Amino acid sequence: QVQLVESGGGLVQAGGSLRLSCAASGRSLSDYVMGWFRQAPGKEREFVLAISWSNSTYYAESAMGRFTSSRDNARNTVYLQMNSLKPEDTAVYYCAASPRLWSSASPPKFAYEYNYWGQGPQVTVSS
């Protein structure tokens, strides 16, 4: 069992930056691929990126060049750094843990591949 607690989020102007943290308890995040998803009202949950235990990262097109992620396994925490934010980035952002093995060609991109989820703080980007 893994519990994921997210922090960060809030309101930011377009072009600004935010950093989200996802801290785990129960077991080490080194056993999991970590993913970030987002969901806007009335929309499906959308894949943002996935990151392996060794910090290999796979990006969705919407995140490429603007979002980065990193892991601190000693602190059992994963981070999402969001830069050059746009109003269309407004959503609830979820971190998630997947037991799937990492593959650079096919990392887990779908919600059903993740077993544990954070509570999802709101990120709002004003125009």
Residue 3: which pLDDT band, with cuts at 50, 70 and 90?
A: very high
Q: How far is CA 121 from CA 30, 37, 94, in A?
A: 23, 11, 7
pLDDT band at 124 (very low <50, low <70, confident <90, very high): very high
What per-residue confidence (pLDDT) applies to 1? Answer: 81
Q: What is the per-residue pLDDT for 61?
A: 93
pLDDT at residue 114 in the model: 97
Chain mean pLDDT for the chain: 94
**pLDDT single digits (tens) 7-48:** 999 999 999 999 999 999 988 888 899 999 999 999 999 999
Q: Does 87 score more than 90 pLDDT?
A: yes
| Rounded Cα gap, residues 121 and 91, in angstroms | 9
| Helix/strand/coil for 89 | helix
What percent of the chain has pLDDT above 90?
Answer: 84
